[in-house]
Structures are given as C-alpha cells and as structure tokens.
Amino acid sequence: MAATKNDMVSIVIPAFNAERYLEETVGSALASTYPFLEVIIVNDGSTDGTQQVIERLARRHPRVRGFYQENKGTSAALNCAVSKASGTYLLPLGADDLISNDYMEKAVAILGGNERVKLVYGEAEFFGDRTGRWKLPPFDRHLLARKNIVYACGVFRRADFDKAGGFCEEIVGREDWDFWISLLKRDGEVVRIPSVCFYYRIHANSRRKATRNRKRELIDILNTRHKAFFYRELGGRLHYMRTWSRFLNLLIHLFYPERVHCSPSSQDLEEFVYTSPERFDHEPGPATAGRGNTRVFEVLGRTVMVTRYDEPAPIRQLLRGECPQSRARRSFQDAEKLLAAGTVVAQPVGFYEKRTAFWCSRSYYVSAQLRSPDPIRSPNRTAL
C-alpha cells in the first residue's frame, strides 16, 4: 500500500554546538526518497553558531523547522522536538550523523505493513576518524537487558513513543538504551533492514565517547525505572559487571530469595508491584486509618494500596502449624476468590516476597480500587 501524508515521518534532531556538521546531516535527511517528511531541530543551548545554521536551513527548506531551549540535555531536546512534530513516525538523528536516502521509505513500508513491529533500523557504518561496518548483534531482549544493541537512530511510531513516556531526561548519555527498553520491554517485534541505513560519525567530540564514564549512574537509573524487565530477563537487577548479572543474581537469591507475582489483569501496574518494597519503605504514601502497615499511592490515575507484613521465620511457622505461604500471598489469593464472587471492592494486583537478614522475611500485598466500584459498598474497604 502506497504511503500518504498520514504516514508523515518526523526526523527529530537535538543540536548542541553542532554548527560544523548540522547542514550535512539535514542534507542527508532531505535527500530521502520518501516524500512525506519534516525535520525538527532543537538547539539545546548551543554556544557556537548552531542557531544561525538552523535559521539558514529553515529559510531555505520549508520542511525544516527550528526551535531553541536552554541547555537541558539530549533527552529534553528530543522530547521538545517530538512535541513540535506532526509525524505518525519518528526518527531521532544525531546532529553529526547521516542516513541513507532509502532508509525512511523501507522503514515505513515495514511499520505500515505489520502492527506488531515497534522498531525498525538497518545496518550501520562508522565514518570520520574511524571507518568500517558497525557489527550489531541480532535483536534479543535478554541481550538488551545487559547492553544497548540498537543505535539511537531507529524508526518507530509516535503512538508507541507516547506509551513509552518519551526519553528519560534524568539520563545524561545512552538515553537511547533506556528508551528502547521502555519501548520493547513487554512486547513488540523488531526488524533490521539488511542494508546500510545509518552512518555514525566518529570524531573527538562524539557523544558515544563522552558518555562512557557514566556507566554506574546509568545502571542505577535503569534498575530503578525497569526493575520488572531486569528481573524477568536477568533474574534480578542489572549489575555493574553487566555480563555477570544473571550469575550474580542466582547466587544472591540462594541466600536472599525473592518471589514477585503480578496479576495478568493488572499488567499496567507490574512495575509498581516490583518496586513496592522501595516505594513502601522509601517513598511512603499516607497510612490508611487503623492500618499503620498499609500505605496508599496514586499510580496511573488509580488508587493503589500496599500492605507490608513482617513474616515469622519458617521454622516458627511450622511449629505453630501455620501455612508456610507468606501473608501477602494468602491475602492476594483470598482477594481473588472474593473478587470472583463479586464481594470485594479492592482488586488484587500482586504480591512481593523477599527474605531479609537472619532468615526473616517480609512480604508486600498490592491491591487497587476497582475502576468502577459498586457505589453501595464502602470505598474505604480494603480486601486482605
């Protein structure tokens, strides 16, 4: 099916002190064989002649628009550019890089023909101070959990960008890795075009070089933002020794086991379930009346409750003749039965079990108010 104006591609370019290469970069975009495109450039507080280059390009080419912001970083500049864009598809492009003239045409044909595909990119080459093919591994979510395996210049839908929450402005450098995880951590297919579509310039001020020393800071942020993803793919958090993460998590969980479960009907709250211990202990919401171990949070427009239990040691449970299951898990299972019977207001979302020091354990039960609660029932009632 032929592309139309409804299949507009917005090429978004963050520019910081980019006067030397920006015109060549924009030229490669405008040379595209794809007819429906626009170029949005955001000057991220440059101190050189970048603004003058942008203004000159905008005067010459009707499809080029430029904007200025105080220096806030690449992620903020990309988000600003997307907010000004009108395209159905987005393509972030570094202000010193180049793309092939058939990249967008091939990418839109793939995305338009398969709704399951969320990301399209192609083969890549280095040029400048280093030349040669960029050897990219096949896409794999397990590998994406340990390293960034997709360069920053991929093509994706604006709707998926919005669902992913845009680029994280807290991250300085390697923001594309975080974004690809946000975009693909739950589902979606990835297609790599078997021809060179992207040319990455290597020079003394390349961002890839400049951000290598921020690895620990980046990993800490990724673990906070994508805990559920890393637990699924690596069995625990991403470690600074990334290649060893799965093995290290296996060792840690021999001594400090964890179990996390999120109801299939509450996948939008999965990340909250995985981070419920941190949220309860370090970002407490108000305690519910009469229940000091339950706290209330507003998450994605929903009222969510977290109840924390200090579990007795397993041997003590056995001596008492109690069920070895955690109280959070029992609360979740009981609430599921009540919900099925139509006799409970709170929806069971999930539970988190973890062992702490000296064989003690804690568990967290997560529930949420139903989206359309029965007005006859009390809105303050929480099923446990």
User: Residues 91-130: pLDDT tens digits?
Assistant: 999 999 999 999 999 999 999 999 999 999 999 999 999 9
How confident is residue 378, by pLDDT bands cut at 50, 70 and 90?
A: very low
Other beta carbons within 10 Å of 66: 23
| Closest of 132, 172, 133, 179 to residue 154, by C-alpha | 179
Region for residue 370 given its phi and psi (left: phi exceeds 0; alpha: psi -120 to 50; beta: otherwise): beta
The Cα 285–Cα 366 span in angstroms is: 13
User: What's 238's DSSP letter?
Assistant: P
Average pLDDT for the chain: 89
pLDDT of residue 377: 39
Mean pLDDT of 148-154: 96
- Residue 228, C-beta contacts closer than 8 angstroms, at least 6 positions apart: 185, 260, 262, 270, 271, 273, 274
Q: Could you read off the pLDDT of 213-241 as tens digits, one per residue?
A: 678 999 999 999 999 999 999 999 999 99
Q: Is the pLDDT of residue 308 over 90?
A: yes
Q: Apex CA 66: angle with CA 62 and CA 69, to 5°?
A: 170
CATH architecture of 5-222: Alpha-Beta Complex (3.90)
Q: In this structure, what token pair is assigned to residue 279?
A: 């949220």
Average pLDDT over residues 358-375: 77
Query: Predicted confidence band at 80 (pLDDT cuts at 50, 70, 90)?
Result: very high
Task: Name the pTM for this structure.
Answer: 0.87
Rounded Cα distance between 111 and 158, Å, is 12
Q: For residues 254 and 250, give the distance between their C-alpha atoms in angstroms, rounded to a whole number.
A: 6
What percent of the chain is predicted at pLDDT more than 90?
A: 77
> pLDDT class for 314, splitting at 50, 70, 90?
low
pLDDT above 70 (res 294): yes
User: Which has the closest alpha carbon to 36: 10, 18, 75?
Assistant: 10
- Tokens of residue 95, six digits: 């202000």
Q: Judge whether 199 and 240 are in contact, CB under 8 Å.
A: no
Continuous H helices in 198-300: 207-210, 215-225, 227-234, 245-255, 270-274, 276-282
Distance between CA atoms of 344 and 40, rounded to whole angstroms?
51
Q: Name the phi and psi angles at 206, rounded to 5.
A: -60, 135
Q: How confident is the model at residue 66 (pLDDT cuts 50, 70, 90)?
A: very high
Segment 160-195, tens digit of pLDDT: 999 999 999 999 888 999 999 999 999 999 999 999
pLDDT of res. 3? 77
Instruction: Mark 133-169 as b/e (b = at least 16 C-beta within 10 Å).
Output: eeeeeebebeebbbebbbbbbbbbbbebbeebebbbe
